[in-house]
Amino acid sequence: MSKKITIEDVAEALNVSKTTVSRAISGKGRVGSATKEKILAYIEENNYVPNAIAKGLAQSRTYNIGITVPDDFALMDLPFFQKCLMGVCEQAGNTDYDVLVSMTKNDDINHLERLINNRKVDGIVLTRTLTKDLPAEYLLENNIPFVAVGSSPNKNIIQVDNDHESACYDLTKLLIEQGIKRFSLFCDNTEYMVNKMRMAGFTKAVEEYNLSDLSTVYENTNDESIDYLVDRVLKTNTECILCMDDSICVRVLDKLKRNDLEVPTDIKVASFYNSSVLERNIPSITSLTFDAKELGKEACKTLLSIIEGEEVQKRQLLGYKISMQQSTKTIMGKDSKK
Amino acid sequence: MSKKITIEDVAEALNVSKTTVSRAISGKGRVGSATKEKILAYIEENNYVPNAIAKGLAQSRTYNIGITVPDDFALMDLPFFQKCLMGVCEQAGNTDYDVLVSMTKNDDINHLERLINNRKVDGIVLTRTLTKDLPAEYLLENNIPFVAVGSSPNKNIIQVDNDHESACYDLTKLLIEQGIKRFSLFCDNTEYMVNKMRMAGFTKAVEEYNLSDLSTVYENTNDESIDYLVDRVLKTNTECILCMDDSICVRVLDKLKRNDLEVPTDIKVASFYNSSVLERNIPSITSLTFDAKELGKEACKTLLSIIEGEEVQKRQLLGYKISMQQSTKTIMGKDSKK
DNA sequence: CTGAAAGCGCTTACAG
DNA sequence: CTGAAAGCGCTTACAG
């Protein structure tokens, strides 16, 4: 591979101006169809590829978008960010955009700032929303195009999310109609918007059936407290443990197993999020599934639209699937075992 | 935030030339220390940040590196690529480089080509090596700086890897000296160099002790065949199942559990790779651990050196840890149970 | 429909 | 030690 050929080279070779070549490529401005074809053919032949950097400088654009990936998340959440990243990459690739990752701790915006200050990207996809969202605030203040994967109360943030609230509402409702009255909801960090939404869905369903008094919500659980909480819950007459996500669910199942308790015979379990971690579990776990890749694609598509100056929807809610499985099955004659 | 300030703005404000400002920032070329300080102070004050794109164009550099992340890997391998990516990002960030991800199927180099043709990056980190390594070949042919995480027989490829061969050799040896003579090695895709290296380490140890005849290697296992293979192995007098990686190990453990077999009482198990998947297993699993983040950092550091035109080591081998756990423990009076 | 020219914001010989 | 000027490879009013 010899030295890269430039727009000037093709202009000279064809005895036209750089302007014309540029126009033939971009499609902007009129070019005689004969000339255009000639140019395109030559480009194809000599596989000329425009220098994206030069193009970027001239247009003050980079044809790159940034994606923030938290580097402090639980291992269980990895598949989510991974799939989301895949979605973004795929979508970006379709329009010759590339994606630049910014690994960031919770709300450390140093790297994000650098990205923006160095003008390395045309926009940002935030893969997580926080209740106090420093990255989002920074982007908003500086007028940088961005879209958040997740929900935010801030109406100025363009957001795409799954409809967690409805999902949790629906699932809880189904369980209630199946006869369950007493739930214990295990919930970790409420700093994440998604957990708030899920809790809201659950609460709504429970209230609707006037079951609020029979259920308990345990907030800010962590690896250490779960064992203790499970023991505590077992002393109550809770029928079903609802887990805010699969990470919690895994620990709960683990603890139940150690207590020699059977699911769903002794107690029922369901999760508000099913990453692949739960997939192979026996018994299979009732849970909600979301398509993270789709989320990424949609977020990227929206971001690209914003960059192009198009109008976009402020908030998009994508669907979900409810997967009713063994873990919440009503076992006939269950009480015989108690 | 108003319009970005340029090098020209600071030059005018200070009554010096752009040249001088540029030199004060880059440190290249002589500048009077008084002027230099004045400039630096002004820059700090008005937080001027050079436009990386313009800089890139002038130097024909991008201050970006690309990292390929396979999008076809097993979920179990995710933590590896994730940590590797973290390492690369961290290291790159130290020198104001950014990293651009290229999701690629096995050996689909389309996106890679685009990245290179569009001059979006100054170099590439390959996160996996293949026996027939199209991406590496392409990069080599086109003289693009790159380093591979993993090993390759091609001496022209700058590579950084853990010393899998020694690691597997050591672990196997330890197990042999512990009294185990009969192994079954489960190995999946031998297209990946890493699997070849591991197998080599195992073979070397076994041969050294003249135990080759007592062991069997099962190649190209997959999710479906593992159940069958475990059953088959159980009919032999294999004492220990060695798993090429944790993904295989999880399935093996799963199958053994379904067969109501106890580890290590009934049969011993060890894995040549411990991602976090195995960490919480009971019993704890004897395995090899590697520091993927370190690998990423080292790879990135090396790549950056290459880009700077420095000489680098052709092949770097990083260390490993052997974690001897419950799963290979010799149980006294084991045969009583048989 | 086509071009000459200025401009994007830097860097870097070259000259002083 | 410091500057004027050309150049990196594109795009885009402006003019014809």
Q: What is the mean pLDDT of residues A252-263?
A: 90
CB-based contact A52 B89, cutoff 8 Å: no
B83 half-sphere exposure, CB direction, 13 A CA radius: 15
Q: Is the pLDDT of residue B323 over 80?
A: yes
CB-based contact B99 A99, cutoff 8 Å: no
Instruction: With beta carbons under 8 A apart, name residues in chain A contacting B52.
Output: 118-120
pLDDT, position B4 = 78
pLDDT, position B335 = 46
Q: What distance in Å separates residue B205's CA from the closest CA in chain A?
A: 34
User: Is B164-289+323-337 in the same CATH topology as B64-162+292-319?
Assistant: yes
- The topology under which CATH files domain A64-162+292-320 is Rossmann fold (3.40.50)
Residue of B nearest to A140 (CA): B1
Q: Is the pLDDT of residue B299 over 60?
A: yes
Instruction: With beta carbons under 8 A apart, name residues in chain A contacting B114.
Output: 93, 96
The overall average pLDDT reported for chain B is 89
Pick the residue with more confidence: A279 or B15?
B15
Instruction: Name, in order, each residue with C-beta under 8 angstroms of B67's C-beta and a sequence gap of 6 or more.
Output: B85, B88, B99, B100, B101, B102, B124, B125, B127
User: Given pLDDT bands bounded at 50, 70 and 90, which one contains residue B333?
Assistant: low
Is residue A2's beta carbon less than 7 angstroms from any atom in nucleic acid strand C? Answer: no
CB-based contact B53 A52, cutoff 8 Å: no
Residue of A nearest to B65 (CA): A100
Pick the residue with more confidence: A192 or B155?
B155
- Domain assignments of chain A as residue spans, ordered by start: 7-50, 64-162+292-320, 164-290+323-337
d(CA A204, CA A212): 9
User: Given pLDDT bands bounded at 50, 70 and 90, which one contains residue A3?
Assistant: low
pLDDT, position B338 = 37
pLDDT, position B337 = 39
Q: Is the pLDDT of residue A226 over 70?
A: yes
pLDDT, position B214 = 92
pLDDT, position B246 = 87
The lowest-confidence range among A284-293, B41-50, B66-75 is B66-75
Is residue B23's beta carbon less than 7 angstroms from any atom in nucleic acid strand D? Answer: yes
Single out the residue of B32, B4, B1 nearest to residue B19, CA to CA: B32
User: Given pLDDT bands bounded at 50, 70 and 90, which one contains residue A32?
Assistant: confident
The residues of B between 43 and 62 with beta carbon within 7 Å of nucleic strand C are: 48, 50-51, 54-55, 57-59
The pLDDT tens digits for B270-291 are 999 987 777 778 889 999 999 9
CB-based contact A98 B86, cutoff 8 Å: no
CB-based contact B142 A1, cutoff 8 Å: yes
Q: What is the mean pLDDT of residues A216-228?
A: 88
A:B CB pairs within 8 Å: 105
Q: Is the pLDDT of residue A305 over 60?
A: yes
**B53 Rama class: left (phi>0) / alpha (psi -120 to 50) / beta:** alpha
The pLDDT tens digits for B21-61 are 999 988 887 788 888 888 899 998 888 888 888 998 999 88
The lowest-confidence range among A168-172, A218-222, A326-330, B122-126 is A218-222
Q: Is the pLDDT of residue B116 over 80?
A: yes
CB-based contact A96 B114, cutoff 8 Å: yes
User: Containing H/E element for B66?
Assistant: strand B64-70
pLDDT, position A74 = 60
The percent of residues in chain A predicted with pLDDT above 90, rounded, is: 55
pLDDT, position B2 = 47
Task: Please enumerate residues of B whose Cβ is less than 8 A from a Cβ of A.
Answer: 1, 4, 47, 49-54, 56-57, 60, 62-64, 71, 75, 78-79, 82, 85-86, 89-90, 93, 96, 98-103, 111, 114-115, 117-120, 141-143, 254, 276, 280
Task: Please enumerate residues of A whose Cβ is less than 8 A from a Cβ of B.
Answer: 1, 4, 47, 49-54, 56-57, 60, 62-64, 71, 75, 78-79, 82, 85-86, 89-90, 93, 96, 98-103, 111, 114-115, 117-120, 141-143, 254, 276, 280
Instruction: With beta carbons under 8 A apart, name residues in chain A contacting B79.
Output: 75, 78
User: Given pLDDT bands bounded at 50, 70 and 90, which one contains residue B138?
Assistant: very high
Is it true that the peptide bond before A70 is cis, omega within 30 degrees of 0? Answer: no
Instruction: Name, in order, each residue with C-beta under 8 angstroms of B226's C-beta and a sequence gap of 6 or more.
Output: B186, B248, B251, B252, B255
Is residue A7's beta carbon less than 7 angstroms from any atom in nucleic acid strand D? Answer: yes
The residues of B between 27 and 66 with beta carbon within 7 Å of nucleic strand D are: 29-36, 54, 57-58, 60
- The topology under which CATH files domain B64-162+292-319 is Rossmann fold (3.40.50)
Strand partners, A316: A160
d(CA A240, CA A263): 10
Q: Which tokens hold the place of B240?
A: 């220990």
Angle CA(A18)–CA(A24)–CA(A27) in degrees, nearest 5?
Answer: 130
The pLDDT tens digits for A273-288 are 987 777 778 889 999 9
Instruction: With beta carbons under 8 A apart, name residues in chain A contacting B49.
Output: 117-118
Q: What is the mean pLDDT of residues B192-205?
A: 92
From the candidates A97, A98, A141, which should be mutated to test the interface with B, based on the most B CB atoms within 10 A? A98
Q: Which of B47, B62, B93 sits opposite A53 (nearest CB)?
A: B62
- The topology under which CATH files domain A164-290+323-337 is Rossmann fold (3.40.50)
The pLDDT tens digits for A112-130 are 998 998 889 999 999 988 8
Q: What is the b/e burial string over B217-249, where b = at least 16 CB atoms within 10 angstroms of the residue's CB? A: bbeebeeeebeebbeebbeeebbbbbbbbbbbb
CB-based contact B119 A280, cutoff 8 Å: no
Is residue B15's beta carbon less than 7 angstroms from any atom in nucleic acid strand D? Answer: yes
| A112 and A102 Cβ atoms separated by less than 8 Å | yes
Q: What is the mean pLDDT of residues B227-233?
A: 93
Q: What is the mean pLDDT of residues A23-46?
A: 86
Q: What is the mean pLDDT of residues B88-98?
A: 92
| A220 and A228 Cβ atoms separated by less than 8 Å | no
Q: Which tokens hold the place of B106?
A: 């096995």
The lowest-confidence range among A103-112, B44-53, B145-154 is A103-112
Q: Nearest 5°: phi and psi at A270?
A: -145, 160
- For residue A11, give the nucleotide whose C1' atom is nearest its CA: C3
Q: Which of A49, A79, A111 sits opposite B117 (nearest CB)?
A: A49
Whose tokens are 């550091």? That residue is B301
Q: Is the pLDDT of residue A146 over 60?
A: yes
* Residue length of chain A: 338
Within 10 angstroms of residue A15's Cβ, the number of other Cβ atoms is: 8
Q: Is the pLDDT of residue A58 over 80?
A: yes
User: Given pLDDT bands bounded at 50, 70 and 90, which one contains residue A76?
Assistant: low
Query: How far: B12 CA to D4 C1' (Å)?
Result: 15
Q: Strand order in A64-70's β-sheet?
A: A315-318, A159-162, A146-149, A124-126, A64-70, A98-104, B98-104, B64-70, B123-126, B146-149, B159-162, B315-318
Q: What is the mean pLDDT of residues A140-147?
A: 93
User: Containing H/E element for A16?
Assistant: none
DSSP single-letter state for residue B317: E
Q: Strand order in A216-218's β-sheet?
A: A216-218, A183-186, A240-243, A268-271, A286-289, A321-323
Is residue B254's beta carbon less than 7 angstroms from any atom in nucleic acid strand C? Answer: no
Pick the residue with more confidence: B208 or A280?
B208
DSSP string, B111-153: HHHHHHHTT--SEEEES--BSS-HHHHHHHHTT--EEEES--S
DSSP single-letter state for residue A130: B
The lowest-confidence range among A71-85, A114-128, A160-174, A270-284 is A71-85
User: Given pLDDT bands bounded at 50, 70 and 90, which one contains residue B1?
Assistant: very low
pLDDT, position B3 = 63
Residue of A nearest to B142 (CA): A1
| A183 and A244 Cβ atoms separated by less than 8 Å | no
| Architecture of domain B164-289+323-337 in this structure | 3-Layer(aba) Sandwich (3.40)
pLDDT, position A73 = 63
User: Given pLDDT bands bounded at 50, 70 and 90, which one contains residue A336?
Assistant: very low
Residue of B nearest to A60 (CA): B53
Pick the residue with more confidence: B170 or A109?
B170
Is it true that the peptide bond before A135 is cis, omega within 30 degrees of 0? Answer: no
d(CA A131, CA B80): 30
User: Given pLDDT bands bounded at 50, 70 and 90, which one contains residue B85?
Assistant: very high
Q: Which of A47, A89, A103 sits opposite B86 (nearest CB)?
A: A103
Q: Is the pLDDT of residue A334 over 70?
A: no
Q: Which of A153-157, A334-338, B334-338 reaches the highest mean pLDDT?
A: A153-157
d(CA B240, CA B286): 11
Indicate yes or no: pTM above 0.85: yes
Pick the residue with more confidence: A33 or A124?
A124
Q: Strand order in B183-186's β-sheet?
A: B216-218, B183-186, B240-243, B268-271, B286-289, B321-323
Q: Which of B53, B79, B142 sits opposite A78 (nearest CB)?
A: B79
CB-based contact B119 A51, cutoff 8 Å: yes
Is residue A18's beta carbon less than 7 angstroms from any atom in nucleic acid strand D? Answer: yes
The overall average pLDDT reported for chain A is 89
- For residue A58, give the nucleotide whose C1' atom is nearest its CA: C8
